[in-house]
Amino acid sequence: MMKMAVRLALSVLALIALPALAQRVSPASWTLVPSVSHVAPGGVFTAELRLKLTEPWHMYSLTTPKPGPTGGPTTTTIGLAENAAIAKWTLYYPAPARKFDPNFNIDTETYDGEQVFRLRIELAKDAKVGPLELTANTRYQLCTEKECLPPKKVAASATLNVTEGAPAGDVSIPAGWTALESAKPAAPAAPAAAQPAAPKQDLASFLLVAFGFGLAAIFTPCVFPMIPITMSFFLNQGSGGSRAQALTQALVFCLGIIVLFTGIGFGLSAALGPFAVVQLGSNPWVNGLICVVFFVFGLSLLGAFEITLPTGLLTKLNMASNRGGYAGTLIMGLTFCLASFACVGPFMGTLLAASVGGDKLQPVLGMLAFSSALASPFFLLALFPSFLQRLPRSGGWMSRVKVVLGFLIFAALLKYLSNIDQVLQLGWLTRERFLALWIVLFAMPGLYLLGFLPMEGIRREDEVKPGRLLMGILLLGFSISLLPGMFGSRLGELEAYIPAPAEGATSMGGAAASSSAKWMKNDFDGAIAKAKAENKKVLVAFTGYACTNCHWMKANMFPRPEVAEVMGEFVLVELYTDGTDAASEQNQKRQETLFQTVAIPYYAIFDADGKVSGSLAGLTKDPQEFLRFLKGA
């Protein structure tokens, strides 16, 4: 049993650490080296901005033509950050190499290997004596002959001293270098097309779900029985067990819970690179690992075996917490988290997996909301200890929660299994099979709660009380409501989480289940050619096989009559960016090159010459916003 627990813990840690393995190490390093260590007010000196590039990467020059609507490399920009002590600066740079670039099919100017750019800096006559920090801001793009990285902004800094009477420094400039003069210091360059922030309502909804998950986790068999035990410890410890002391100890205990779970979210956030989100969320190995973890959790909750952490670890943590004081209480909070992991883990796994499709801080915020809700009863009961006596006693209802949660974990497992099937284009877990399994998995806990399925926690002779009755009816009702979806009918918001109907499938009313038959797939050049022939524009949807928001847009936004009418004026093409084939890699590269993002969904309109007329990032549930985007182009 202990070995199984260790393997499970390692699996979960691997899930959290896996994004770090996908990160690229930057092939470029920048350093700023002044020619002098001391300079007088009003003095002139130079500073070398040194670039070291790893083979086979190259950087585009400051004079490479800026990317147009049809794409092109990002021109390098270099400037000195604003500083009141600097009156003027001039950048000198060596001649770049000019050659044909296969990435963009044009001639470009590039640098590779080790390069030096020189800044001639003139201080203001009233510059204050003391340390002076110089910061050179650069924005550049790196490519090889086969691939390109998104544009990146980097700052290199150095410090020297402003000293009265300091000797003049070397201000010589190599012959043949070009000057780029700036009368005023340059502010940091802004990205040409920064990745749009996620809609506020989406983040708010995610945090609300995370908080709800935390509240739900309280009523699991691993957490709820610990509440009265822990609160009794707070109320009875110390001299006299004062309420103020119990309140402080409960606050520290809650802090331990929040620190651990938020730390997990922070670790995931730090490991996620800004362009690794799509690959992580749709990676078959990541989704496979989630399936394995959920399968183990589900079996455990249904009573196949018990997941426990190594007793030696828990014993050591308990001994540390028994030393008393705030440190002991904090450690007791961490021990509580580890001891409750068997029940809390499924909620955590679902939240962390869902958060990788949003902003890179979403894992931190999600875990903060989740842990705050999970810790809330301890703090509230410390404020109002009289409510401790009114808490329901642990008993058979805890076993029932455990069994129902086990079935729901298996239902969640199917979502990640579906991601694997769609990304690999296997076609095994079709919409009909997925919904058939969901119908069974939601009907089983309903039948169990009503006493028709004999399992732990319920005996046939037990009275069905109103709470059990209502929950059983809700689960059975939800299960039955999925039946029309097996015959092609749309299921509203649920469409984001289930496989789309096969092309050409019809609903029970005979109408097309979706507009998928109108879309070309992974054929941008073919769409442009068709647009020329039909004198139309092209609506491109950068989408994904495992993209929840993409599925929602296709099922709930595109079929709306007012939207479908306007979309009929375009040539429609879907470019999938999360598959394992060459087409997905090419589509992702196209999106990165044109829009400096790989976030999906992403919609763009092109004219018949391939020039961008407009773009819209992310999910929108406002039909008027999507119509304004379509009509504006």
One-letter-per-residue 3-state SS of 112-163 = ECEEEEEEEEEECCCCCCEEEEEEEEEEECEECCCCECCCEEEEEEEEEEEC
Local mean pLDDT, 10-residue blocks, the chain (633 residues): 42 43 66 88 88 89 64 81 85 86 78 90 86 89 80 86 79 78 43 40 73 79 66 54 68 80 68 49 73 80 68 56 59 65 63 58 79 82 67 66 84 85 82 92 91 80 82 92 86 79 49 55 91 91 84 88 91 87 83 79 90 85 90 78
What pLDDT, in 10s, does the model give residues 465-515? 888 889 999 999 999 999 998 887 888 778 877 887 765 444 433 333 444
Q: What is the predicted pLDDT for the residue at 474?
A: 93
d(CA 84, CA 266): 37
Distance of CA 191 to the CA centre of its chain: 20
What pLDDT, in 10s, does the model give residues 345-354? 666 666 665 6
Q: Which of 157, 153, 118, 149 is nearest to 139 (CA)?
A: 153
d(CA 589, CA 591): 5
Q: What is the predicted pLDDT for the residue at 426?
A: 81
d(CA 61, CA 73): 10
Give the C-alpha distances (Å, rounded to integers) separating 62 from 58, 70, 98, 111, 117. 13, 20, 12, 10, 11
Q: Which of 63, 68, 75 is nearest to 151 (CA)?
A: 75
Q: What is the predicted pLDDT for the residue at 554?
A: 87
d(CA 177, CA 95): 7
pTM: 0.51
Q: Which of 71, 619, 21 is nearest to 279 (CA)?
A: 21
d(CA 213, CA 152): 37
- Furthest-apart CA pair in the chain: how many Å? 98
Q: Are 337 and 257 in contact (CB under 8 A)?
A: yes
Q: What is the predicted pLDDT for the residue at 353?
A: 59
Question: Is the torsion defined by CA of 142, 144, 145, 146 positive or negative?
Answer: negative
CATH 2.40.50.180 fits 35-182, yes or no: no
d(CA 508, CA 504): 13
d(CA 191, CA 462): 65
d(CA 94, CA 115): 8
Domain ranges of the chain: 1-26+205-391, 35-182, 393-499, 517-632
Q: What is the predicted pLDDT for the residue at 592?
A: 80
Q: What is the predicted pLDDT for the residue at 473?
A: 93
Question: Is the torsion defined by CA of 326, 332, 335, 340 positive or negative?
Answer: negative
Q: What is the predicted pLDDT for the residue at 275?
A: 43
- Token couple for 44: 């002139």
d(CA 346, CA 406): 10
- Token couple for 92: 């000198």
- CATH says 517-632 is which class? alpha beta
Q: What is the DSSP string of 173-235?
A: --TTPEEEEESSPPPPPPPTTPPPPPPHHHHHHHHHHHHHHHHHHHTSTTTTTHHHHHHHHHH
